[in-house]
Amino acid sequence: MTAPLHHAGFFGFDVFGTVVDWRSGVARAARPFLQRYGIGVDPFAFADQWRALYQPAMEQVRTGARPWVRLDVLQRENLELLLARHGADVATLAEDELADLNRAWERLDPWPDAVAGLTRIRRRFPIGTVSNSHVAGMVQLARFGGLAWDAILGAEMAHDYKPQPQVYLKSADVAGVPPHRFVLVAAHNGDLRAARACGLRTVFVPRPLEHGPGQDTDLEAEDDWDLVAGDFLELADLLGCP
Amino acid sequence: MTAPLHHAGFFGFDVFGTVVDWRSGVARAARPFLQRYGIGVDPFAFADQWRALYQPAMEQVRTGARPWVRLDVLQRENLELLLARHGADVATLAEDELADLNRAWERLDPWPDAVAGLTRIRRRFPIGTVSNSHVAGMVQLARFGGLAWDAILGAEMAHDYKPQPQVYLKSADVAGVPPHRFVLVAAHNGDLRAARACGLRTVFVPRPLEHGPGQDTDLEAEDDWDLVAGDFLELADLLGCP
């Protein structure tokens, strides 16, 4: 392993895509809903479309066009928007079913290596989330998937969304370590670029199935990140975590 | 158990005194330090005196006389104040040893029932800290004692100190539950009074040795808290957590 990570004080993880498989989980939750209401769209396409609305919605907050709101609020607005696009009359849908579908983002399976890898890394380093999700959603997701974090950091404590610098800097600050001892682990080169610009250390772990079988982004490291690992088990190996 | 707690959404725990035995742990860390520098004070008395400076220091922040600072900053100032009172020339003491002694608050033993009780409660309910400590200190303390929290909540995210209402309300807000579904567990009646005034549910667990063998405060419930349990194992029983 590279020298800087030996002295890391905290490992922060991007979550959606890096730790958990959002596409399969959202499609799994959407399938019965779409069938029940006769909405004719493939559940995986629906997951992709819902996810595609995620960045523009956060951008409203990043630019200051809209005051801070939590991710579950944005996801719910996007869900209604997407259902309407597919011809649904949202006002006629059952509120509890809409709320339940919105919580699909709290019931996503970890990638197969994630729990075992995190468990090993955590024996040696404190670990936490650096996600754009709200804290409560991360708590539920961790309980669903058996992820044991030392702390939930990220967007909510900065009241802004990645890749805004404040999210990385606030996460390191709250973790009690200087940026150069805070490591971001992510499957997204853009996330790592923003973290590096803030002085954080960076680890890339590709997740070539995040966007399904046709994925053509983030298949490999696009910069000389401090470390690149095939998955979290290899990362644990590289960090010397037995 | 009482009906309201059946529907609880989150259990928040006071930590110093309620979950961990600060007095023994601080005395244990202080003893060799005091001996090395020939400071003639009993380590338990030293722990009590250090702790006694804690409320007045936080009060400065609560009243707005001083901007928000983290608890480790206040503890460090109080440590230097106390050492000076005992005749030490603080400027001559080794910085790394002072910093290490200040971290005594991150190396405190959980009460004997705490880890087993929390483990059982967590199987059914999300659990977290609602402490006046900074997040990083809570992370280290949890790792030292084997405490598995779902989230670290409390003072730092409110930028104020208990018993200010904002600390309880912000903790419930971040946990994603309304105050009446957020339960505070504490060994201190005053903490519970403030939490109840915010609409939270309340559980009292006496810790009759928190202040040592002569303790004369918080030996019993002083109000009709939602639940009173002898320790965390009994609390787990009362909550139906096997």
* Residues B11 and B119 occupy one common structural domain: yes
Could you tell me whether strands A127-131 and A201-204 are parallel, antiparallel, or unpaired per DSSP bridges?
unpaired
- Tokens 């007095």, located at residue: B23
* Residues B210 and B147 occupy one common structural domain: yes
- The last residue of one of the domains, among A106, A139, A161, is A106
* Residues A75 and A146 occupy one common structural domain: no
Could you tell me whether strands A10-13 and B151-154 are parallel, antiparallel, or unpaired per DSSP bridges?
unpaired
Both tokens assigned to B103: 């971290």
* Residues B145 and B205 occupy one common structural domain: yes
User: How far B72 CA lies from chain A's nearest CA (Å)?
Assistant: 10
Walk across the sheet containing A127-131 and list its strands. Answer: A151-154, A127-131, A10-13, A182-186, A201-204, A227-228
* Residues A26 and A99 occupy one common structural domain: yes
* Residues B192 and B219 occupy one common structural domain: yes
* pLDDT tens-digit series, residues B71-86: 999 999 999 999 999 9
User: How far A226 CA lies from chain B's nearest CA (Å)?
Assistant: 24
- Count of the separate structural domains present in chain B: 2
- The last residue of one of the domains, among A106, A139, A171, is A106
Contact B175 A135 (CB under 8 A): yes
DSSP A70-97: -HHHHHHHHHHHHHHHTT--GGGS-HHH
Both tokens assigned to A178: 């200087």
* Residues B52 and B42 occupy one common structural domain: yes
Alpha-carbon dihedral angle through residues B40, B43, B45, B48, given to the nearest 10 degrees = 140
User: How far A20 CA lies from chain B's nearest CA (Å)?
Assistant: 17
Q: Which residue of A has its CA nearest to B140?
A: A126
Q: Which residue of A has its CA nearest to B159?
A: A157
Burial bucket for residue A166 (CB in 10 Å: 0-12, 13-18, 19+): middle
pLDDT tens digit at each of 242 positions of chain A: 455 688 899 999 999 999 999 999 999 999 999 999 999 999 999 999 999 999 999 999 999 999 999 999 999 999 999 999 999 999 999 999 999 999 999 999 999 999 999 999 999 999 999 999 999 999 999 999 999 999 999 999 999 999 999 999 999 999 999 999 999 999 999 999 999 999 999 999 999 999 999 999 999 999 999 999 999 999 999 999 99
* pLDDT mean values, one per 10 residues, chain B (242 residues): 77 98 98 96 98 96 97 98 97 96 98 98 98 98 98 98 98 97 98 98 98 97 98 97 94
Q: CB within 8 A of A98, min separation 6: which ones?
A: A76, A79, A80, A90
* Residues B202 and B124 occupy one common structural domain: yes
The domain spanning residue A164 has which CATH number?
3.40.50.1000
Q: Which residue of A has its CA nearest to B172?
A: A136
* Residues B182 and B193 occupy one common structural domain: yes
Q: Which domain, by its residues, includes A92?
A: 22-106
Angle, vertex CA A221, rays to CA A220 and CA A226, nearest 5? 145
Substitution target from A72, A127, A149 for chain B, most B beta carbons within 10 A: A149
* Residues B161 and B80 occupy one common structural domain: no
